[in-house]
Amino acid sequence: MSSLKAGKVGELEDGAMTSISTKQGDFLLARVGKNYYAADNRCPHMKGKLAQGTLEGTVVTCPLHGSQFDLKDGKVVRWLRGTGVLSRIGKALKSPKNLKTYRVQVKDDQLLIEL
């Protein structure tokens, strides 16, 4: 298993997110309390940059269409924002898909995303 250096403990404020772009991919790193979470930075719906969205607790909201994912396990909290015909069509065209998450390990004050 390989890992990716994602920064140092304390660099990211509680309740904040950042994106980390590397040759291995585009990742989201978030801090909630003393816990750190990592996931793909691209929403599985329309590839919106999740780090540009909002974070409430461990739930990240995509800035494009409001899909929400729990960073603890990547599970879909909400697939697309809204109701009505357009929302039903969008959900029919692209069914809900969980967000890929990664374990974050703290080693010698370094944050490592396990790939």
Kindly tell me the burial class for residue 65, based on how many C-beta atoms sit within 10 Å of its own C-beta (0-12, 13-18, 19 or more).
middle
Which tens digits make up the pLDDT trace of 27-60? 999 999 999 999 999 999 889 999 999 999 999 9
pTM here?
0.88
Distances (CA, A) of 85 to 43, 68, 91, 93: 22, 20, 10, 12
Which domains, and CATH codes, for the chain?
3-114 (2.102.10.10)
Which tens digits make up the pLDDT trace of 58-109? 999 999 989 999 999 999 999 887 666 655 665 566 688 999 999 999 999 9
